[in-house]
Structure 1
């Protein structure tokens, strides 16, 4: 027989071994966003390498992308706003008009990463993704500007449009190969060039990529086709646009030859994505963010949707479901610090979490900046 003292000692030792084999409390072993629930809030999950291509051409903030390469893994924290949207996407009636969700909050609170989590879910759930990583890039530093050949007074950003088509093609590579996704009408580009009715969407996309002068028009045509295909049940679409309020701010850094400012409503790409964010179609959902840093002006007084969208933008989206992205909760802050310590990014010292939380005001981006290398 084993003596009681020895038995208790072995039991304690086995418990220590057992607990040491468990995943850390700040991580979850559930890496499939389809299975994430409120029980996973405040925990990190690893994006599998095969599914990392969702963010190949955009979707993660540049600073977070650099951090992920440094840590040699892409991990996202499960947060309540993303779980709320995911639960809604599971339950809404897709026969009804498209539901619009608007993510808002202070700069650096995690709106883009919340959208990244929703994108990962939608990709695994079989949605066709229509994702704009950051509208501000088009309105602040376009790669090229040209007069539209089909719309008088409008301007094309054809290089940016072609780059977006590459992004769209990469995110939806598997779905675009299905034979059901075909054009519902003929698209004439010139006297000699056209995309016939019944052509695959890949042909339409490749035409915009290979024939740069038609890239912006191809994006507009693709938007119309996606709406029709969704209405007829050939696909289920998620539209995700980061920095959506930049479509409604009159001051841009897009200039004509005489340094005259081109407003967003005169840029052809704007027409395509405003068309996709209307509620006149079904079998779709729309998630957008509004952000103070999406605008050219830096002295923004409020982060609320009504202020950032203005009257025109607010009326365009109304009615919508507002989703507030707050700063880290105490649990989320501790998880973030534990993750940094696990990756040997920071060294531990007493009262570390409280001090860094106070300095950053629990803001995720500010906390990341405080912990970055010198």
Structure 2
């Protein structure tokens, strides 16, 4: 209700007679800013602190490769369609993690980073920036766009085929395998990506040792009954390939704390609530976020929305992960994603102005939008959305 009123108030404010005509000096300032808010470098491996608060464009073919099956917030995707480009702001949390991933010693156990912050601060887009970096650097990408979709809105569930007492979410699992294959298809064509052992599915079907990793993935996509179990097998094969030096792996999981929230919307046949640890795919991603392997970087986000909670008492990792989740990840590097600072807010306004999303610039409007949104990226996006 408050947001709707604020948006209406903003529009009304623009139309008042109190707004002064723009002077030549203001026009000059706008022109100068419009030349500074964009980063001409589209390769995130070359982004540095000098590019902070600038927008960079992701080429359409790379957007299709990385984010066709998820990874960008819904409202952001709609805005990109309107703007006819996919631009992400370069922000300090992403740059800090990218710098770390460039310089860490990959012979050590997997490095783990946790992005946290208030709702709408930009964790998912920071993660998308890091995923794009991993893709450009040749990492094998293991990306889960939103764990909450599995635990709270899964398309179907059934008793596990391969392990008694577990629950499979095979349609979602098959879709994730498609996502994984799309993101890594060029890399997976490498002849060194082979499975290390036989994976027997039933009396007639198995994925033989030294088969291509693509065969294992395709089996899970085509035989949906075994999709969840294929993800577990794939996770173990990825860890072995990384440890053998065949590839570097980037694990990126949005809404990771949903793996530890005690209640889901998945039900057994007797209507009993299923704990996330009894969902087959959870085994795979808890294994991938462990520290018992190397040649890997792990970046996850924590979010109350992943647990279906819109207003949590705290946004800190210890609260959202709970004791079990915190201990599973410990030690990790916490990285807070804050609301826009003054420079970032102004850069966002300049970008909207450049895209004709805000048709004209007025200092009064700028101050009002900052106040009403509290410089929160999502709230600013909501307030400036079409009525």
Shorter-normalised TM range:
over 0.9
Moved over 6 A (4+): 19-23
Deviations 1:160-215 (A, max 9, x none): 00000000000001100110100011100000000000001100000000001000
Partner of 2:291: 279
Residue of structure 1 in register with 2:382 after alignment: 369
Aligned length: 358
8 Å CA contact retained: 1:23, 1:29: no
Matches within 5 A, 1:306-321: 306-321=318-333
- The range that moved more, 204-213 or 257-266, is 257-266
Could you tell me whether the CA contact under 8 Å between 1:208 and 1:215 is conserved in 2? yes
2:59 to 48, 57, 60: 48
Give distance in 1, aligned partners of 2:297 and 2:153. Answer: 29
* In structure 1, distance between residues paired with 2:122 and 2:146: 14
Map 1:82-161 → 2, pairs under 5 A:
82-161=94-173
After superposition, where does 1:188-203 map in structure 2 within 5 Å?
188-203=200-215
Report if the CA contact (8 A) 1:252-1:296 is conserved.
Answer: no
Describe the superposition over 1:232-285 as per-residue Cα deviations: whole angstroms up to 9, x where unpaired.
Answer: 000100000000000000111111233221110110010000000000000000
TM-score normalized with structure 2 length: 0.90
1:221-236 to 2 correspondences below 5 Å = 221-236=233-248
Give how far 1:320 is off: 0.1
Counterpart position of 1:256: 268
- Name the structure 2 match of 1:346: 358
Matches of 1:351 and 1:26, distance apart in 2: 20
3-state SS, counterpart of residue 351 of structure 1: helix
SS at match of 1:102: strand
Q: 1:21 to 1:341 in 2, by over 3 A?
A: closer
* Equivalent residue for 1:79, pick from 86, 91, 101: 91
Q: Please provide the CA RMSD for this pair.
A: 1.6
Structure 1 unaligned blocks of 5 or more: 1-15
Task: Provide the C-alpha distance between the structure 2 equivalents of 1:174 and 1:299, rounded to a whole number of angstroms.
Answer: 41
How do residues 164-243 of structure 1 correspond to structure 2 at under 5 angstroms? Answer: 164-243=176-255
In structure 2, distance between residues paired with 1:89 and 1:346: 37
